[in-house]
């Protein structure tokens, strides 16, 4: 299998022109293999005893806990639409479904950039940026969890995460890096497309530099195929439905909260004006326990968002 597509430029110099599209199939196959493997192991693994704390939680904890604000959900779904459009316009023509894809692709790319800019601004202003930080302890726990999963014996002492479990954080951060690489290269590639705003100029960078840009864009594209396959897979797994549902309606139940989260790491208290019973949406905070900038515990509860 070739990894790169190369060509002789007009001066007969060897240049990269992109990744081999075999890598697209490699990503699909790799992604599928992961899903199958995971599904088989998960199926053969005995269900862990559910921790029976659900019923006895702190009465201050509301029945419904907001996991994703409307704004976050809007971002997620808008971004996923642009991402799908980008992937479809990028890869469907390669598998023989032919249509004029370039304009749709770059417009969707701009859409993606806008949603991500929104997300970054929102996360900076309204959310805790550090909530996606992965600390050493968490990493250790995560490793144990993976090892346990593979051995089909979840660690008994598994500690519970804050708002975002380590696998979510890893996924988020990996995808963020890949997406940003795709965006950065994609923005450069926009110079080579005629838009209403500028005429294309393929000579902004040297052939060799463009080769790198195309390879990075291609690699991030195929990587997104695999990561998104995994994302969808987990979203539809029955044991994760509660999370998937929260991306639709925003909330998780108190039971899930207590079962899957460490209330110390993700502190949930009713907001001012809460009349109990959880009728009004409580305010929640993302746990910052793993933040390297140690935030005093007492302050954490103030960090209501």
Partner 1 sequence: MAVIRDMIPAFDLFQPTSIEDAIDLLDQYGDDSWVFAGGMDSFDWMKDRIKRPTAVVDLGNIPELKGITSSDDGLEIGAMTTLTEVASNSDVTSRFGLLSQAAGLVATPQIRNQGTLGGNLSQDTRCWYYRAGWPCYRAGGNICYASAPLAMNREHCIFGADRCVAVNPSDTATALIALDAKMVVHSSKGEREVDAEDYFIGPGIDITRMTVLETGDILTTIRIPGTWAGAQFYFEKVEDRKSWDFALVSVASALVVNNGRIERARIAVNGVAPYPMRLDAVEAAVTGKPQNEETAEAAGDIAIRGASPLRHNDYKLPLMKNLVRRALREQAP
Partner 2 sequence: MATIGQDIAPPDLVAKVTGRAKFAEDFRAEGMVFAKLLLSPMPHARVRRVDASEALAMPGVLGILRAEEVPQVDAPREACLTDEPLYEGEPVLAIAAVDETTAADAIDRIKVDFEPLPFVLDPLESLRPNGPDARIGGNYFFRPRGSDIAEFRSHKWTDADFAAAGEGQMPMGEPRTEWSVGDLDAGFDQADLVLDETIVHQTLSHHPMEPRSCMAYWQNGKLYIHPSTQSTARTAVGIARSMDLDPDDVVLIGPYCGGGFGSKISGSPTMLIPAVMSRKIGRPVMMRINRYEETYIGRSRPGFQARVKIGFRNDGRVTALDLYIVEDGGAYGSGDFNTAGTVASLSYQPLAMRLRGVSLYTNTPPRSAQRGPGGAQIVGMLEPIIDKAARQLGIDRVAIRELNAPDNNGWLGPQQGRLTSAYVREALAMGKEIFGWEEKSRLSGQRNGTKAIGVGVGLSPFVGGSTGYDGLVVIRPDGKLYVHQGIGNLGTHSMADTARAAADVLGLPWDRVEVVWGDTSKHLPWSSNQSGSQTIHAHTRANHAAGIDARRKLQQIAALDWGGSPGDYVVGGGRVYHRSNRNQGMTFGRAARRAIQLRGKFSGYEMDDDLNAMTVASVQALAGQGLIGAAKDNYGREGSTWTFVVGFALVELDVETGQVDIKEYTAVADCGTVIHPRSLAAQIHGGGVQGFGIARSQRWVYDPQWGVAFAKRFYTARPPGILDVPLEMKWGAVGIPDPQTPVGAKGIGEPPVGAGSAAITSAIADALGGQCLCRTPLTLDVILAALEGREQPYGPLETHV
Q: Which of 1, 10, 43, 272 binds partner 1 (CB under 8 A)?
A: 10
Annotate each residue in 81-100 with x if it binds partner 1 (CB under 8 A) or - if it does not, as one string.
------------x----xxx
Q: Which of 84, 92, 203, 241 binds partner 1 (CB under 8 A)?
A: 203
Annotate each residue in 213-242 with x if it binds partner 1 (CB under 8 A) or - if it does not, as one string.
-x----------------------------
C-alpha dihedral, 24 to 26 to 29 to 33, nearest 10°: -130
- Minimum CB separation of residue 12 from partner 2 in Å reads 4
**With binding defined as CB under 8 A, does residue 7 bind partner 1?**
yes
* Footprint on this chain of partner 2 (rule: CB under 8 A): 10-13, 203
Look at residues 66, 109, 74 and name the one whose alpha carbon lies nearest to residue 88. 109
Instruction: Count CA within 13 A, CB hemisphere, residue 92.
Output: 14
Q: Which of 72, 82, 90, 101 binds partner 1 (CB under 8 A)?
A: 101
Q: Which of 22, 58, 194, 239 binds partner 1 (CB under 8 A)?
A: 194
Q: Which of 152, 200, 240, 299 binds partner 1 (CB under 8 A)?
A: 200
Q: How far apart are CA 38 and CA 230, in angstroms?
A: 10
**Helix ranges (DSSP H) in 14-159:** 22-44, 70-91, 102-126, 136-150
Q: How far apart are CA 90 and CA 75, in angstroms?
A: 22
Q: How far apart are CA 45 and CA 143, in angstroms?
A: 18
> What one-character-per-residue DSSP string does 40-62 give?
HHHHHSPPPPPPTTGGGS-TTS-
Annotate each residue in 11-50 with x if it binds partner 1 (CB under 8 A) or - if it does not, as one string.
-x--x-xx--------------------------------
Residue carrying structure tokens 């007492």: 298
Residues in the chain: 305
**With binding defined as CB under 8 A, does residue 201 bind partner 1?**
yes
Cβ closest to partner 1, residue 46 vs residue 96: 96
Q: How far apart are CA 294 and CA 213, in angstroms?
A: 39
Q: Token pair for residue 175?
A: 């995808």
Cβ closest to partner 2, residue 7 vs residue 60: 7
Cβ closest to partner 1, residue 102 vs residue 150: 102
Cβ closest to partner 2, residue 205 vs residue 229: 205
Binding site for partner 1 (CB under 8 A): 5, 7-10, 12, 15, 17-18, 93, 98-103, 192-194, 199-203, 210, 214
């Amino acid at each position: 299998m070739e990894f790169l597509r190369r060509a002789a430029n007009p001066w007969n110099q060897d240049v990269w022109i992109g990744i081999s599209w075999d890598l697209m199939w490699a990503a699909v196959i790799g992604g599928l293999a992961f899903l199958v493997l995971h599904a088989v192991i998960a199926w053969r693994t005995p269900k862990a005893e559910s921790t029976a704390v659900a019923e006895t939680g702190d009465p201050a904890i509301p029945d419904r806990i907001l996991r994703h604000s409307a704004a976050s959900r809007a971002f997620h779904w808008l971004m996923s639409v642009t991402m799908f459009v980008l992937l479809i316009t990028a890869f469907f023509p390669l598998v023989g479904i032919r249509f004029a894809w370039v304009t749709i692709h770059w417009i969707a790319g701009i859409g993606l950039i806008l949603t991500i800019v929104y997300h970054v601004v929102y996360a900076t202003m309204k959310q805790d940026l550090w909530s996606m930080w992965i600390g050493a302890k968490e990493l250790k726990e995560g490793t144990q969890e993976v090892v346990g999963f593979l051995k089909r014996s979840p660690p008994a002492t598994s500690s519970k995460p804050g708002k975002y479990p380590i696998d979510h954080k890893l996924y988020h951060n990996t995808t963020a890096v890949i997406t940003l690489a795709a965006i950065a290269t994609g923005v450069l590639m926009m110079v080579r497309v005629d838009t209403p705003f500028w005429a294309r100029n393929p000579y902004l960078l040297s052939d060799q530099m463009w080769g790198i840009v195309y390879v990075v864009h291609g690699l991030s594209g195929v990587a997104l195929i695999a990561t998104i396959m995994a994302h969808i897979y987990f979203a539809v797994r029955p044991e994760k439905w509660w999370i998937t549902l929260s991306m639709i309606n925003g909330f998780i139940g108190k039971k899930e909260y207590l079962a899957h989260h460490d209330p110390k790491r993700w502190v949930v208290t009713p907001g001012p004006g809460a009349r109990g019973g959880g009728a009004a949406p409580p305010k929640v905070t993302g746990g910052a326990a793993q933040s390297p900038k140690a935030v005093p515990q007492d302050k954490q509860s103030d960090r209501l968002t």
